[in-house]
Chains A and B, each alone.
Chain A
């Protein structure tokens, strides 16, 4: 089966720094694909390239038969790619429910004139999106907080709200950037279930960037490891766990091993200082 989301030799420079270097990914439909690596490895940049936030310097990115490179971010969202952000980006002044409804704009049929006339189409759109948004909030256990300010939510709930908002787009591919950051063991376990459930229920393909090995090793079918923008390993969780290059990249092997049992508390991988000077040759 050919890949749904395909990156070929994707490269991105920031000035002299090569943040993503010749990365190729072939992500199959319905996969839960892990993208891991130490801080500053270029994972978020890969997401930003896929979603068009940054322009790719070299290589190609395709979703099915669609070439994503010439598309604007909003068109990429329309094409079926939704994402969450590592540093949460919610619409602060909007309520929890409204945050989801914004994502409904994409599929609405009524135009601005309809809205002013409050036509039947306008109401039909609004009611449909309202119902969809409410049931998504139920899924993420945020139903009772629908009218709260989105900034008043706990950290974990804000991350869940971001996922719910992304799901409102009815995406083909969901890109999750460190969704378990700031979650405790129980929440992370819940997240694992939710990711699998979303994949199964909505026929979704998930790309997961995550430091929490309890989550990564628990849900991913395949994992790609990046270090300094370069791909250093690819394989199943078992293969990655014992890969020497990966262990070396993470400066120690204990934390990876600890992710094996589900009853072990969540442990963050030792983290490289992203601000440390890069080794320039």
Chain B
């Protein structure tokens, strides 16, 4: 049979010419999003004067990063992580600390509003030093914790990851929210249990609790002088980073690595039999996912028009659950789906907030309170999610898009490439 010869020939001639789209697609996408982001940086404050509307747009971007990163471990690898908020918190606090420190070293003060004047351009220039460092540090810290959490729990089959990630996120949040110096009994007890303040672990504990208590506890961290974290990441950074994350998520999915991950999700025994080491692939994808979660949290913490205080309450189980909802609604494993899910969830949350703060509702709420009732429309959100998820379970159990990428028809085939 001549197929053997065929196989030989294919080995020699494997350097195929590729199309311009294949070769430059990625570069064009990056340059394109750079331009769009740059235009948005200067135009957005003029086009949209209401900062709460700008906030929604920016939050959508951050949440897209949240969903895209969680999609790697939950959707592509099929491992259930329910503590994504923990990694976001790590990224957020790290970035907030770094931005504050760098801002101080650049002279401090309040950030000027967007315009073409000298002050703003200087601040924008500084952001090119500050933002990348802060984002990268936040993401790396989260990735490191991802490795620590993932390595022991992903070696085991089953649902350990879910339990461990949930516990991890809550421990982290509560440590930040509750550690206080001096009169804190929990820390004091722990120090004594390990050998007292003079034992080996005493100083370690002391330094740890000094650090944790400097994060502002439940009220949150609001910069070195309490004036708020300087929000350096304007539309330029938020949009550009989101676009980069989408590109990376896309390329990860459509790579041999992504394929192996999907295979692992389909059949672990069969993928081992073809040489895919489950632990290695799962841990890598978990670390990547944590990296992305940290990046999203960091972006969130230093996003302009966002909250200048990083609070533990922004990273509760609710946040992790929202992230899971984004991935499930869009379709586990779909990059496009994750973005769609992020848009849906963000808009839902913000709409409910708007309604909650509307005069009618406020009046109703206060008159109800007089009778001993309370009105929290946040509960609506659960009803909406539940409704949408149940409807999906009936109509499209695999999410809106399943694993597919609806606007890129041929992509699921094997001839892969970069978007744009």
Contacts and interface: CB of A to CB of B under 8 A. Distances in A.
Interface of A: 51, 53, 72-75, 77-78, 82-83, 85, 89-95, 97-99, 101-106, 108, 112, 115-116, 118, 122-132, 134-136, 138-139, 146-147, 165-166, 168-169, 197, 201-202
Contact of B260 (A105, A127, A128, A131): A105
15 contacts: A51-B273, A78-B275, A82-B274, A85-B270, A93-B403, A98-B263, A102-B271, A102-B274, A105-B257, A115-B255, A115-B257, A115-B258, A128-B14, A129-B256, A168-B274
B271 A118 contact: no
Given A101-B414, A139-B1, A123 B275 contact: no
A115 B256 contact: yes
Question: Interface centre among A75, A94, A95, A202, by most B CB within 10 Å?
Answer: A94
Contacts of A106: 274-276
B249 to A, nearest CB: 10
B14 A89 contact: no
B274 A72 contact: no
B272 interface: yes
Contacts of B26: 118
B256 A125 contact: yes
Nearest to B18: A123
B273 to A, nearest CB: 6
Contacts of A131: 7, 10-11, 13-14
A126 B275 contact: no
B10 A135 contact: yes
Contacts of B7: 131-132, 135-136
Contact of B15 (A51, A124, A201): A124
Nearest to A111: B257
Given A77-B274, A115-B257, A168-B274, A93 B1 contact: no
Given A132-B11, A139-B1, A91 B262 contact: yes
B252 A112 contact: yes
A100 B265 CA distance: 16
A116 to B, nearest CB: 5
A102 B248 contact: no
A115 B251 contact: yes
Given A106-B274, A127-B16, A135-B3, A89 B269 contact: yes
The 9 closest A-B pairs by CB, nearest first: A131-B10, A106-B275, A115-B255, A89-B270, A73-B272, A103-B274, A77-B275, A74-B277, A91-B266
B259 interface: yes
Interface string B1-23: 10110110011011110100000
Given A94-B263, A129-B256, A132-B10, A82 B273 contact: yes
Contacts of B272: 53, 72-74, 77
B413 interface: yes
Contacts of A123: 18
A105 B18 contact: no
Nearest to A104: B256
A116 B252 contact: yes
Contacts, number: 145
A94 B274 contact: no
Nearest to A100: B274
A105 B274 contact: yes
Nearest to A112: B257
Nearest to A201: B4
A102 B259 CA distance: 6
B251 A74 contact: no
A112 B284 contact: yes
Contacts of B271: 91, 102
Interface in B268-303: 269-278, 284
Given A78-B275, A102-B259, A127-B16, A90 B4 contact: no
Nearest to B278: A74
Contacts of B18: 123
Interface string B219-263: 000000000000000000000000000001001100111111011
Interface string B401-420: 00100000000111010100
A93 B298 CA distance: 35
Contacts of A116: 248, 251-252, 255
A65 to B, nearest CB: 20
A8 B274 CA distance: 25
Contacts of B255: 112, 115-116, 122
B359 interface: no
A169 B1 contact: no
A197 B2 CA distance: 11
Contacts of B50: none
Given A102-B259, A108-B256, A166-B273, 18 more contacts: A73-B272, A74-B277, A85-B269, A89-B273, A90-B270, A93-B262, A98-B259, A103-B275, A105-B257, A116-B251, A118-B251, A118-B418, A128-B14, A131-B7, A132-B7, A169-B274, A197-B1, A201-B4
A197 to B, nearest CB: 6
B267 interface: yes
Nearest to B275: A106
A126 B256 contact: yes
A89 B412 CA distance: 21
